[in-house]
Amino acid sequence: MTPNKNSKFTTMKKQFLYSLVCFLFLGNSFAQQTPAPKQTNDYTIEGGTAHLGNGQVIENSLIMFSNGKISFVGNANMKIARKGTVINAKGKHVYPGFIATNTSLGLAEIDAVRATRDFDEVGTMLPHIRSIIAYNTESKVIESMRPNGVFTAQITPRGGTVSGTSSVVQFDAWNWEDAAVKLDDGIHINWPNTFSRGRWWLGEDPGLKPNKKYAEEVTAIKEYFEDAKRYLSGNRTPKNLPYESVQNLFNKSQKIFIHVNGKKSIIDAIDLFKSVGITNMVIVHGEEAEKVATILKANNIPVIIERAHRLPSNEDEDYDLPFRNAKILTDAGILVGLGMEGDMERMSARNLPFYAGTYAAYGLDKEEALKLITLNNAKILGIDDKVGALEVGKDATLFISEGDALDMRTNKLTDAFIQGRKLSLETHQTKLWKRYSNKYKNQ
C-alpha cells in the first residue's frame, strides 16, 4: 500500500510545530529577565545609613535621583522637598553598586561544556581580540550577581601572552552594546613565571624549579612592543591589526593590565614597559607586591589583588599574609582593587562583597574594604566619573540592604537600581531558595 504523502507531510508539520513550541518555551524559561525600563519617575531614599563608597558614611541619609543620575546626597534632617517615590530605608543601609574587576563573566556559562566557553582565543599575541564581542547578556550566571549588589564588571579575556582587550559592562541590558559602560578599557598580558613546575606526566620532578626560558620569554614581549612602536611611527603599510590595537597604550589613553606574581617579575615588567614608553600600568594578582610597594607608589601603579581565601605563595611567609595584603598595600599608599580571577571565578563573583569583608576582618577599615569594590575599582577602570560612589552627577547605580553588605549573613537587598532603572532581584537561585525554604516550613 502506498503511503499517503499528505498525511506524512501533516505529521512532519506537527512535529516541527511541536519542536518549535518546546524550543520557545525552553528559551523563555532559560533566558535572563527582561531589562528594566528607563527611569521616568524620580526616587527618594530616606533614613538609611549611606555608605558612599569613598570612605564616608552618612547616618540618616537622604538620596534622590532622576533620569538615571544622582541629584542629591545629604542628611535627611535637611529641609528639602522630597521628589517622586519615597523609599523609607530607616534601619537599612544604602550602597553604590559593587564593581568586579578581572572577570570572565558572560564569556562562559558551563565550565564542563566547551561550546559555552569563549574566553580564550588561539594564539599568543592577541591585543586585537575584544572580549566585549563575545559577552553574553543572557547568561544565567550574570543574573545571579545582582541579588548581592554586584552590578558592574570588567569583562576580561584569558590565555596566551597578550590575551586581548577587556571592556566594562553593567548587568541590566539586552545586548553587549546596551551593556557597555566603557569599551576597550585595557589590554591584558600574562607575564612569564620565573619558576616552572615539573610536568609529572613527562617524568619530570613535580616540584618548582627556575624557568630556564624566562629571559627568552621576556625578550619576546619586549621585541613585540618595540616592533609595534616602530610600525605605529612609520607608514603602517601593510596594515597590521594587532599592532594597530596597541596604539592607545603608547598615547596613555588605554591601560595595560599585567598579570604577574613575584617581586622580580613585577620589577621586570615595570622596567620593560617603561623602556618602550608604556606607563599607564595596572598590576593584577601581584603576589609579593608588598615587597615592591615603594616602586609601585613612585610609579603610581594600582594593584588588583586576588581573593584572600588562599595559601601564602612561599613557605616562609606568614600564614595570614594573603588576608592582610589589602591593608599592607593600602597603608603603603597604593590604590588597591579586588579582582575575581581563579577557581570558579564566574560563579564565585557574586561573593565579591564577602571577599572584601574578609579583608576588613584582617585589619582593613570597613569603609576602606568597601572601596576595594566601589571607588577604587572604578578609578582603576577609569569609570569613576560614572559609578563607584554615591555622589551627585554619577549614575544612580545603587542598592538598599537590610544589613552590612560585606557580611553574607546580613546582605539582603530590598531595592536595587542600575542607572536609575529599578531591578528585579528574582533569579533562578532565589526561586530555588524560596522553593526549598517552603518545603521545610510545611513539614
**Alpha-carbon gap, residue 64 to 48, rounded angstroms:** 12
Over 80: is that where the pLDDT of 53 sits?
yes
User: Residue 24: inside a domain, yes or no?
Assistant: no
Q: Which of 339, 358, 386 is the last residue of a domain?
A: 386
Beta bridge partners of 195: 210
Same domain, 137 and 239: yes
CATH (domain of 364): 3.20.20.140
User: Residue 14: inside a domain, yes or no?
Assistant: no
Write down the pLDDT at residue 431: 84
What number is the average pLDDT over the span 325-351? 94
User: Residue 20: inside a domain, yes or no?
Assistant: no
Give first-to-last CA distance, the chain, whole Å.
61
CA neighbor of 425 nearest in space, from 150, 105, 181: 150
Provide the grid cell at 209.
624549579
Q: Which residue has the higher pLDDT, 100 or 32?
A: 100
Q: What is the pLDDT of residues 4-23, one digit of tens each?
A: 555 555 555 555 555 544 44
Lowest mean pLDDT among 115-129, 233-247, 373-387: 115-129
Counting residues of the chain whose pLDDT is more than 70, the rounded percentage is: 92
From residue 150, give the alpha-carbon distance in Å to each of 20, 93, 118, 146. Answer: 35, 15, 22, 5
Same domain, 341 and 440: no
User: Residue 379: inside a domain, yes or no?
Assistant: yes
Which residue range is the domain that position 230 belongs to? 98-386
Counting residues of the chain whose pLDDT is more than 90, the rounded percentage is: 77
Same domain, 381 and 314: yes
- Is 163 in contact with 157 (CB distance < 8 Å)? yes
> Average pLDDT of the chain?
91
User: Residue 18: inside a domain, yes or no?
Assistant: no
Same domain, 130 and 235: yes
Confidence of residue 226 (pLDDT cuts 50, 70, 90): very high
Same domain, 319 and 283: yes
User: Residue 12: inside a domain, yes or no?
Assistant: no
Write down the pLDDT at residue 16: 53
Over 70: is that where the pLDDT of 2 sits?
no
What number is the average pLDDT over the span 217-241? 96
Q: Strands, DSSP E only, in 280-335?
A: 281-285, 303-305
443 by Cβ neighbours in 10 Å (0-12 / 13-18 / 19+) ranks as exposed
CATH (domain of 419): 2.30.40.10
Same domain, 172 and 304: yes
Residue 282 identity (one-letter amino acid): V
Q: Which of 338, 363, 386 is the last residue of a domain?
A: 386
Lowest mean pLDDT among 60-69, 222-231, 312-321: 312-321
Over 80: is that where the pLDDT of 29 sits?
no
Opening angle at CA 341, ends 219 and 287, nearest 5: 60
DSSP of 342-403? STTHHHHGGGHHHHHHHHHHTTS-HHHHHHTTTHHHHHHHT-TTTSSS--TTSB--EEEESS
Same domain, 214 and 272: yes
What number is the average pLDDT over the span 160-185? 97
Write down the pLDDT at residue 21: 45
Strands lying side by side in the sheet with 43-46: 69-75, 61-66, 43-46, 85-88
Write down the pLDDT at residue 390: 98
Q: Which of 370, 386, 402 is the last residue of a domain?
A: 386
Same domain, 408 and 320: no
State the residue for C-alpha cell 598615547.
Answer: 251
Same domain, 299 and 347: yes
296 by Cβ neighbours in 10 Å (0-12 / 13-18 / 19+) ranks as buried
Global pTM?
0.89
**Alpha-carbon gap, residue 246 to 240, rounded angstroms:** 11
- Is 179 in contact with 169 (CB distance < 8 Å)? yes
Query: Looking at the 3D structure of the chain, how many domains does it have?
Result: 2
Write down the pLDDT at residue 210: 87
Over 80: is that where the pLDDT of 343 sits?
yes
What number is the average pLDDT over the span 159-186? 96
Same domain, 397 and 433: yes
Same domain, 226 and 350: yes
Confidence of residue 297 (pLDDT cuts 50, 70, 90): very high
Over 80: is that where the pLDDT of 301 sits?
yes
User: Residue 370: inside a domain, yes or no?
Assistant: yes
CA neighbor of 37 nearest in space, from 394, 430, 417: 417
User: Angle of helix 352-361 relative to helix 321-331, nearest 10 degrees?
Assistant: 80
User: Residue 1: inside a domain, yes or no?
Assistant: no
Q: What is the pLDDT of residues 129-167, one digit of tens each?
A: 999 999 999 999 999 999 999 999 999 999 999 999 999
Same domain, 408 and 333: no
